[in-house]
A and B are shown apart, each in its own frame.
Chain A
Amino acid sequence: MRKRTRPTKQGNSVLPIAINELEQLLQDNFPNNPDLTFSIYHHHGKIMAVFYISYMVENDKIENYILDQSLKMKTDWSTQTLLNEIPLSSGKTNTSIDDVLYGLLLGKVFLYVEQEKEIIEYVLLNKDKRSLEKAETESLVLGPKIAFTESLITNLNIIRWRIRSTDLVLEEIIVGKKISREVRLIYMKSVANEKDVNTMRQRLKDLDVDEIEDSAVLSQYIEDSSFNLFPQFDTTELPDRFSYAITKGKVGLLVENSPSGLVAPATIFSFLESTEDLYMRWQAGSFLRLIRFLAMFFSIVVTPAYVAVITYHYEIIPTQLLLSIGESRAAVPFPPLLEALLLEFMIELLREAGARLPTKVGQTMGIVGGIVIGQAAVQAGITSNILIIVVAMSALASFTSPSYLLGTTVRLIRFPLIFLSGILGFFGLMFGICFLIIHLLRLTSIGTPYLAPLYPLSLQDFNNVFYRLPFSLENKRAKFNIPKELVRYSKKEAKKKQDIDE
């Protein structure tokens, strides 16, 4: 627990106070609240009140350690003797009635002996949470499967166990004016770039909202540009991905009651990284990463290009191919633009339905939607088979993104591009692509350019972003993050070769 540095308001404290007055005070502040347990005990002529909200605390601990011990005490009750006799380590004293009121909500138990100057508090919070489970939205083949939960304490526990170093800082920042929530700013003191940490801290502290619903909402409050299409914070539910980013000098955020952590600064390429690339052999890791980059490009371009070609530029298709395309399109009544939009819409429906339905039904959905409707649509002459292949491939490609947020953005971008291509052919498509590139160039994530290390160009950072080299060759952290410590380990040691018989 962090010690509260708030100055104690000795002057306007209501203490000492009579027990029944205290009860009245609490009742006034929590009107109509049947859950506030306020019990009074007598012992050697002293009166003590114990109060808490029953479901916020661990009741059996109160009974076993607080009530049992204090009622059996030989000496008289006073703040000092109680603190001394009760076998719990988190005991503190408090004089501010506001802190007491707020503490009740945080799962604290309060003891007050009548006419004493201080109230004793114990943190015995009881937070119900789901147990640790396998990651669902970001699944991995290799590597740790554990995912964050909604409990901040559990998440911090996981992170501390992953990064066991005194270097790790977990700053507490309270966000939300009306309904406050604990946010933890997490970074490596000796690695993370000071500017990034300060920017993040400043944005969190300056945030003036009544409440934040989730970490994803928080990320939208503090991001650089709200009108941008692309996510500017890495959102992950994987502790290994989270801690990987932290140890490489990025800054992380964990929010209470949210099962996903935020990492910044993010670049467009960091969304396409998966920790799995590290667990693979470097050749396979590089290959998979490359495939993902290609998939994103492919997913954005292929349907619009099809629409543009079929609508305006069929002269670029050789006759043989044109014949087979013409044949498959012969019965289709729609113009290519409408046909493509229709199919893309259908794929989006399938995806959305699959995401909303329970897992068991979801699988059937895929079969019904993909095979039955697709086949039937072609046979009914509503769409051409070639377009079905194109649309299905581009949808598939968009699902290869390790980040669900980026995948969604990619699928969203397709629609205006299809539209532009349907109206202006390749001119529209090129316009869209140029616009997209300029759009990305203008974007930053907490001040770091979104397209780093491509622009600003930093060739030595290409390793670990576009491909992966064996570990003996990659001994540095990404330079564009401007980490305090660039070198991870000595390259000379790593490359040291042994002679044949040594």
Chain B
Amino acid sequence: MEINSNIKAHLQFPAFYLFFIMFGVQTGVGIMGAPKYIFIEAKQDSWVAILLAYILLIIIVSVMLLILKQYEDADIFGIQVDIFGKWIGKLFGTIYILYFFVNLLSILLNYIEVIKVYLFPTISSFILGLLFIILIAYCVLGGIRTIVGMIFFFVILTQWILFLLYDPISRMDWSHFSPMFQASFPEILQGTKATTYSISGFELLFILYPFIQNKDKIKLPLFLGLGYTIFNLLLVTVISIGYFSPVDLADLDWPTLSLFKNVSYSFIERLDNIIIFEWIMVILPNLVLLMWGMTYGMKRIYNVSQKSTLYIASIMVLILIIFIQHDKQVTMITDTIAQFGFWLLFVYPLFLLPIVLIKKKWRRQREDEKN
């Protein structure tokens, strides 16, 4: 297996789109329920926890960039093979792929559950799953260009939802935030940890990096995209805390959706029911990029054609959707993947960086000796 991935020029996209990719792939089902989980841990100081999460995010992504820059044109699969050797490197790559798979499954299951709870209690999960899989497969078959375009479009097409927040903002009770700074530091950290599921997705940078055309201009769109995700998360969390009473917020399942319940006009009301469906556009970038990451990873590691991975993974997702019907199972999968994701996304790169740096140094020394 080659360490560098040698992407053809016509498959590369400008760094500019990273803004949309980062926001699109981070924002998904997580943000629907995030205010609740952060609030349970950090109470009215949740906003501190989110700001802390941004700092953490910046550190982690900088570390990722640093790792990637040690190589010419490599992705995580190549790097791991280079660092840990063929067997362990491939094993670690496989762990990433499995993580993508379970993450994709958890997003789909969560969203299907929302639809069932809110609107169609009797609809078959299989039908919804099938329609999603059709969209995912159709998009992935178009290749990376189509995927980037899809993310770009869907991110732009969902921005109108933000305007509707004027209504809950106007009804906020600011006294919910006082007294400030009551949470202890461990509580804040717990709150930060609760955000990890809703800000995961940036790990795909590890795979997308070789596909970027102008790598020298990567920083601005990348960190702006991450910042925009955090801004949205902060916005809905702050509004949720001000809008709902503290007792209710801890009980609500999807506080972000409930924010829109009261927006009404003389010709339309209950906009939350429309926004649930608009959320398809919010989660599709997640699903598609995760699926693509899987197919691409399988191709890099095991040289399996992307199409066959796509079809097999699609069928597996569909079968699992039929069997996982209970909301407790869905919560369990989500919790497990959130826990696992925390270690894989936020901790693992910190360990990887020193190894990469040492290996590079060691290699340079050896070359010097040779000369």
Chain A contacts to B: CB under 8 angstroms? 312-313, 315-318, 320-321, 424-427, 429-431, 434-435, 437-439, 441-442, 449, 451, 454-457
Contacts and interface: CB of A to CB of B under 8 A. Distances in A.
Contacts of A320: 266
Contact of B153 (A424, A427, A441): A441
Contacts of A430: 277-278, 280-281
A425 B119 contact: yes
B270 A316 contact: yes
A318 B119 contact: no
B106 to A, nearest CB: 20
Contacts of B127: 424
B117 interface: no
B280 A318 contact: no
B32 to A, nearest CB: 16
A276 B138 CA distance: 38
Contacts of A441: 139, 142, 145-146, 149-150, 153
B152 interface: yes
Contacts of B145: 441, 449
B16 interface: yes
Contacts of B284: 434
Q: Which 9 A-B pairs have the closest CB atoms?
A: A442-B142, A426-B277, A455-B149, A441-B149, A430-B277, A430-B280, A316-B270, A438-B139, A441-B146
Contacts of B351: none
Nearest to A435: B135
Contacts of A424: 123, 127, 131
B270 A455 contact: no
Contacts of B115: 427
B156 to A, nearest CB: 9
A453 to B, nearest CB: 12
B277 A427 contact: yes
Contact of A431 (B14, B266, B269, B280): B280
Given A427-B115, A427-B277, A441-B153, A318 B128 contact: no
Contact of B270 (A312, A315, A431): A315
B24 to A, nearest CB: 13
B281 A438 contact: no
Given A438-B135, A438-B139, A429 B274 contact: no
A431 B138 CA distance: 12
B269 A316 contact: yes
B273 interface: yes
B184 to A, nearest CB: 43
Given A431-B135, A434-B280, A438-B142, A316 B266 contact: no
A391 to B, nearest CB: 19
Interface residues of B, number: 38
22 contacts: A313-B119, A316-B273, A317-B269, A318-B265, A318-B269, A427-B120, A427-B128, A427-B277, A431-B135, A434-B135, A435-B135, A437-B153, A437-B154, A438-B138, A438-B142, A438-B146, A438-B150, A441-B146, A442-B138, A455-B149, A456-B149, A457-B16
A162 to B, nearest CB: 36
B274 A426 contact: yes
A316 B131 contact: no
Contacts of A431: 131, 135, 280
Contacts of B153: 437, 441, 454-455
Nearest to B280: A430
A431 B120 CA distance: 16
Contacts of B273: 313, 315-316, 426
A281 B96 CA distance: 58
B268 A317 contact: yes
Given A318-B268, A429-B277, 16 more contacts: A312-B120, A313-B274, A315-B270, A321-B267, A424-B123, A425-B120, A427-B115, A427-B277, A430-B280, A431-B135, A434-B154, A437-B154, A439-B138, A441-B153, A451-B149, A455-B153
A321 B115 CA distance: 26
Given A312-B119, A425-B119, A429-B277, A318 B266 contact: yes
Contacts of B268: 316-318
Contact of A457 (B131, B152, B267, B274): B152
Contacts of B142: 438, 441-442
Interface string B133-165: 011001101100110011011100000000000
Interface string B236-278: 0000000000000000000000000000111111110110011
A422 to B, nearest CB: 14
Contacts of A442: 138, 141-142, 146
A147 B342 CA distance: 67
Nearest to B136: A438
A426 B277 CA distance: 6
Interface string B25-55: 0000000000000000000000000000000
Interface in B95-124: 115, 119-120, 123
A427 B127 CA distance: 11
B267 A318 contact: yes
A493 to B, nearest CB: 32
Nearest to B269: A318
Nearest to B267: A321
A455 B145 CA distance: 10
A441 B120 CA distance: 31
A438 B138 CA distance: 8
Nearest to B272: A316
Contacts of B135: 431, 434-435, 438
A320 B267 CA distance: 9
A447 to B, nearest CB: 10
Contacts of B281: 430, 434
B128 A437 contact: no
Given A435-B138, A438-B150, A318 B264 contact: yes
